[in-house]
Structure 1
Amino acid sequence: MKQTFYSNGKLLITGEYLVLDGAKAFALPTKFGQNLIIEPANGKIIHWKSFDSDGSIWFEDTIPFASIIRKERFDDAKSIKNTLIGILHEAYLMNADFISNEKGYNIKTELTFPKFWGLGTSSTLINNIAQWLQIDAFELLKRSFGGSGYDIACAQNCTPVLYQIVNEKPVVEAISFNPDFTDKIFFVYLNKKQSSKAAIASYYSRQGNVQHAVTKINTITKTVIEATTAKEFAKALQNHEIEMSNILELPTAKEALFPDFDGVIKSLGAWGGDFVMSISKENPTDYFKSKGFEIVIPYKEMIL
């Protein structure tokens, strides 16, 4: 019997990096996401195909059940296959039935956003696998990729979320966020994908005593969520950028790329790649395109 699962993509608005140390993170699920389609087959093997949003196949391979059970590794040219086997191996340890009681599978994944956008290719896959096997997606993420888990919270929720790690456990609160100034908010792709793993490692290498920063970011996040004007919202996000710039010892995205922009630029998630958010009085599309950034998406086209 054919089964289909779907998970939302994500954008982290506040709390990047510090969410790993207990800060409250404000995140938005996107209108874009990923499907997982499972069909039974034979041969104790998985025939896997991953489709990008344009219908092209970006990964295709066969994975024997035996490779999943023993977590077989292939050479570096097969890095995607190795990663996938690692996820499926951890899933097998959490629920062996999909290997023990079945003959084989044809599996497809279908992204509804371009893979290079960084909206959660991995997190949507992990959440879809967890739905399929009825296991805890946060635990599967922890065992495979690591990370805070805010992206899993977005994958599972169709409303904005406030996310926090408390006593090493995820706490997810669905919240209301629908201000009347969303027409001032745009998302801009920076023409390169940032590795979350590398960014997190860099954060830990720079990290000092961050508890004071956690308290400050939590206050900023509250202001962001409760803002009633675009000016208040933008000012809070600007303060967030300054705080994180000091912690990471990196220039803000505005300082590095858009110093003449008439408005506020907020980095989202891992600094240095993927998307930034802009808040400005006028539509900034022409400005960003003049700088070579062609992908500019209005809030209401991006966010659920």
Structure 2
Amino acid sequence: MEKEFYSNGKLLLSGEYAILDGALGLAIPTSYGQSLQVTPNTSGFLDWTSLDLNKNVWFSAQLDLTNLNVVATSDKSMANTLKTLLLEANAQNPLLLTDSEGFKIETHLTFPRNWGLGTSSTLINNLAQWARVDAYQLLWNAFGGSGYDIACAQTNSPLVYQLKNNKPKVASIAFDPYFKESLYFVHLNQKQSSKKAIANYREQQFDTSELVKKITDLTRAMIGATTLSDFELFMDRHETVLSAILKMTPVKERLFPDYYGTIKSLGAWGGDFILATGDEKSISYFKSKGYNTVIPYSKMVL
């Protein structure tokens, strides 16, 4: 019997980097995500196909069902990553692969792969649903990370996320600012490596507890902002705090010094999406700079 699972994509509006050390983060699940379809068969193999937004195959692999060794694949590195995830899922639920003599699995993205909205986290959460295991444990045992993206995958509203004693604390919130029509997400035309970004963060010397407090306070301030100008002030302060820690130039100063609104990096600095405040002129501004993916807040948020 065919089974299908779906997980939401993610964006972290506040708390990037510091969320790893226990800071409170504001996150939104996106209207874009990824599905996973599982069809049992009698092949003796696990045949995997990943389809992109346009339903083109971007990855495929065949794994031996008895030991999950890779028999054939379009990308050896990615196949080994998939094998790692499946082995971990099977370790948590040894009955997973005994449900059938073979499986055909297809994944379908509803956003371009380079957007950085959670190709991996949506996959992990979908696998966890199929395997009936804990998605956070699957993430941490296989890759690491804060886990906020798993929270977004599972939640259909804006949320706050915090690690307390290495356990995820998730709470849905009514974050629906009246000035949301002045918020835009702009893609920087490149996908940033989270692993490299986190490694750079870990190399810096700073007072972790002080950073966690500052970012937590700013997250709460952003949530409670009642005016666009206040929200912009907190966006700027967040950029200033992390710029000093990361020893990196804020994205507005680096790429958009003449922009009339406020800009904040989201997630790993240097790639993926940024959050910009503005108006209908913002779209033409960013497109004139070569950044053609400009998505209004209301269209991005689930």
For 2:85 and 2:298, the matched residues in 1 are separated by 33
Q: How many equivalent residue pairs?
A: 302
3-state SS in 2 of match to 1:284: helix
**Matching of residue 34 in structure 1 with residue 31 in structure 2:** no
Q: Is the 8 A contact 1:29 1:158 kept in 2?
A: yes
The alpha-carbon deviation at position 202 of structure 1 amounts to 1.1
The alpha-carbon deviation at position 41 of structure 1 amounts to 1.3
TM normalised by structure 2 equals 0.97
Relative to structure 1, is the Cα distance of residues 107 and 257 closer, same or farther in structure 2, using a 3 angstrom cutoff?
same
One-letter code of the match for 1:80? Answer: M
C-alpha distance after superposition, 1:209-267 (max 9, x if no partner): 22111111111111100111111111101100000000000001101111111011110
3-state SS in 1 of match to 2:42: coil
**Matching of residue 24 in structure 1 with residue 24 in structure 2:** yes
Q: Map of 1:179-190 to 2, 5 A cutoff?
A: 179-190=177-188
| Residue identity (%) | 48
**Matching of residue 9 in structure 1 with residue 9 in structure 2:** yes
C-alpha distance after superposition, 1:82-112 (max 9, x if no partner): 1100100100100011223421100000000
* Runs of at least 5 residues in structure 2 that lack an aligned partner in the other structure: none
Q: Is the 8 A contact 2:73 2:79 kept in 1?
A: no
Q: Is the 8 A contact 2:53 2:109 kept in 1?
A: yes
The alpha-carbon deviation at position 208 of structure 1 amounts to 2.4
For 2:199 and 2:185, the matched residues in 1 are separated by 26
TM normalised by structure 1 equals 0.96
One-letter code of the match for 1:56? Answer: N
For 1:119 and 1:47, the matched residues in 2 are separated by 25
One-letter code of the match for 1:99? Answer: L
The alpha-carbon deviation at position 76 of structure 1 amounts to 11
**Matching of residue 139 in structure 1 with residue 137 in structure 2:** yes
Relative to structure 1, is the Cα distance of residues 99 and 75 closer, same or farther in structure 2, using a 3 angstrom cutoff?
closer
Aligned-residue CA RMSD in angstroms? Answer: 1.6
One-letter code of the match for 1:210? Answer: T
One-letter code of the match for 2:10? Answer: K
> What is aligned with 1:63?
63
Q: Map of 1:194-209 to 2, 5 A cutoff?
A: 194-209=192-207
For 1:147 and 1:76, the matched residues in 2 are separated by 27
> What is aligned with 1:232?
230
Q: Is the 8 A contact 2:147 2:168 kept in 1?
A: yes
For 1:79 and 1:202, the matched residues in 2 are separated by 23
The alpha-carbon deviation at position 281 of structure 1 amounts to 4.6
Q: Is the 8 A contact 1:74 1:82 kept in 2?
A: no
* Runs of at least 5 residues in structure 1 that lack an aligned partner in the other structure: none
> What is aligned with 2:93?
95
Relative to structure 1, is the Cα distance of residues 228 and 197 closer, same or farther in structure 2, using a 3 angstrom cutoff?
same
Relative to structure 1, is the Cα distance of residues 73 and 263 closer, same or farther in structure 2, using a 3 angstrom cutoff?
farther
Relative to structure 1, is the Cα distance of residues 242 and 73 closer, same or farther in structure 2, using a 3 angstrom cutoff?
farther
For 2:103 and 2:279, the matched residues in 1 are separated by 52
The alpha-carbon deviation at position 43 of structure 1 amounts to 2.8
Q: Is the 8 A contact 2:46 2:102 kept in 1?
A: yes
The alpha-carbon deviation at position 207 of structure 1 amounts to 3.9
Q: Map of 1:262-273 to 2, 5 A cutoff?
A: 262-273=260-271
C-alpha distance after superposition, 1:144-178 (max 9, x if no partner): 12100000000000001100000010010111101
One-letter code of the match for 1:208? Answer: F
